[in-house]
Amino acid sequence: MQRIQALGALFVTYAWLAYDHYEPWVNFHSEALAFFGLGLFAIAECLRTQPCPNWTTPRAPFTLVGFVITFVWLQLLVGTGIFFGDALLISLYLCGLAVAITLGLRYASIGVPDTNLKSVFVPLVVAALLSAAIGLLQWLNLEGVLGMYAVESSVGDRPMGNLGQPNQLATLLLMGLVSLAWSHDRGHGGRWVFGIGAGFLTLVLALTQSRAGMLGAVSASIFLAWKAHTIPSRLSPWHFLVWLLGYGLALFLVPAIYDLLHMHGGRSAASLYVASDRYAIWGQALAAIWQSPWIGYGWPQTPAAQAVGSLTVPGASIFTFSHNIVLDMLLWNGIPMGLLIVGLCAWWFLSRLYSATQTHAVFAMAALLPLLVHSMVEYPFAYSYFLLTAGLLVGVVEAMHRSAAVTALSRKWVTLGLGVWFCIGSVMVYEYFQVDADYRFARLVNQGLEQAPANFQPPSIHLLTQLSALSAAMRIQPAPNMPPAELEIMRTVLYRFVNREVHFNYIIALGLNGNATEAIRQLSILRSMYGNRSFKLAQFVLRNWQKKYPELALVQLPS
């Protein structure tokens, strides 16, 4: 059992370090590894006989997860949700969250919590340290020494680790710092180990120049300083406040270090406080919410919402999430249901934030804070390595909350449910590798680098229907008298995915099949979503097609 749990911790750690990132599912390998690690944790607990063979789960989070899963399937039934594969995948993720919460509660409730909780905190420490090392090499433009095992960066890029994004690395480093503080507080490692580790993580955190990281650092430090006097801790409030001042000083000096070393890139001190294009994204999201306030656009069909919102608030940034978890909930569920979900989550978080008075709960909440702050400006919650880790931490907090109600679970039904969950996930992994090969082949065919054989048949996909539809849409070429089913595939894919090539082809296909009005509308959407540069390219493509098909003259470019 202990070996299985250790193997699970290894896979969870590796999930943060996986270096393969490519379409159609950019973070597939990292996310699959996180799920596999969690599955090994669950198997180890199923094999546990002593102590406490019975299973319990926190009632409030478990009920909310079940409620959201039910609503996702209702959306599919009434037609708000389009793809069966999306409903199934979201359910798999939310079930994984429920499993993680249950395991976190179990680790903190039975046996020796200090030993059990190493599976929660130690992978974060190890992943943060290794990611910081990769990030430092990237900053120095020396990641080539690691070969294919490090994500390649360009000169002047900020550190990103193998996560491929500086903000994600910053959040991981903050969670790793909190976990390192927990380990030190529990007597794992001496002062020198803690000091050197914390200093190294803080250095790379400053080099990321992440604004989400800054907000997360402030929130976690203030919370720990507030709670330090309520728990028996080796760290005083002053430790956290001094660290925050040191981090702020390092952050202030980073632009000067760039200048001193004659390095290009990074952010100037002034740009750290200037908002990016998120205001335009949030404006489009709010406009879309106003257009569909009651039922939303369905999980996770943010591109459909952007297509609507961009006509009111034009922009040049495409997005698959609104960069704010509250807006995403409102977009996907509508205002009534979205506010209910957000309100329940906010009540849980604030009540546990205030009532956390035990060491494990305080450090777990401190590790959750950077993730929550990051989710207000981006979407780390969409990645399983963040989501499942958050679930484990939520379970730890619930175990320490005195009035938290729990629900007893039958060991037999838990084992059966985990078996079904694992089987569905395994089939999805198998199907993804088929979809991945088909997607890459479709791209090569479209670029003229490959030719599809006359008897070519795409793989038969039953679960990941959304990705299968994406590959199918990429193979469709505009022509007169197209089957209505092909036009419908292109429409639904654009409702779910951001894909400029399919968007171009859909506009041409509409014009060739007697729907010039919708083609003009789609041109307006394309300009509002992608910006004038892509619109000019669309103009060029359309004019070339008009030379061959005069009927496309009805597709007038919007003013």
Whether residue 104 contacts residue 394, with contact meaning beta carbons closer than 8 Å, is answered with yes
Give domain limits for the chain: 114-274, 417-475, 486-559
pLDDT at 273 > cutoff 70: no
Burial of residue 262 (number of CB atoms within 10 Å: 0-12, 13-18, 19+): exposed
If one compares 415 and 264, the residue with the highest pLDDT of the two is: 415
pLDDT at 268 > cutoff 70: no
HEC readout, 246-311: HHHHHHHHHHHHHHHCCCCCCCCCCHHHCCCCHHHHHHHHHHHHHHCCCCCCCCCCHHHHHHHHCC
pTM comes to 0.95
Residues 63-99 pLDDT 10s: 999 999 999 999 999 999 999 999 999 999 999 999 9
pLDDT at 100 > cutoff 70: yes
pLDDT at 54 > cutoff 90: no
Residues 316-367 pLDDT 10s: 888 899 999 999 999 999 999 999 999 999 999 999 999 999 999 999 999 9
Residues 128-181 pLDDT 10s: 999 999 999 999 999 999 998 999 988 878 999 999 999 999 999 999 999 999
pLDDT at 52 > cutoff 70: no
Residues 166-208 pLDDT 10s: 999 999 999 999 999 999 998 888 889 999 999 999 999 999 9
Quote the pLDDT of residue 332. 98
| Sign of the dihedral through C-alpha 50, 52, 53, 57 | negative
Whether residue 393 contacts residue 426, with contact meaning beta carbons closer than 8 Å, is answered with no
Residues 476-502 pLDDT 10s: 999 999 999 999 999 999 999 999 999
The helix (run of H) or strand (run of E) holding residue 411 is helix 411-446
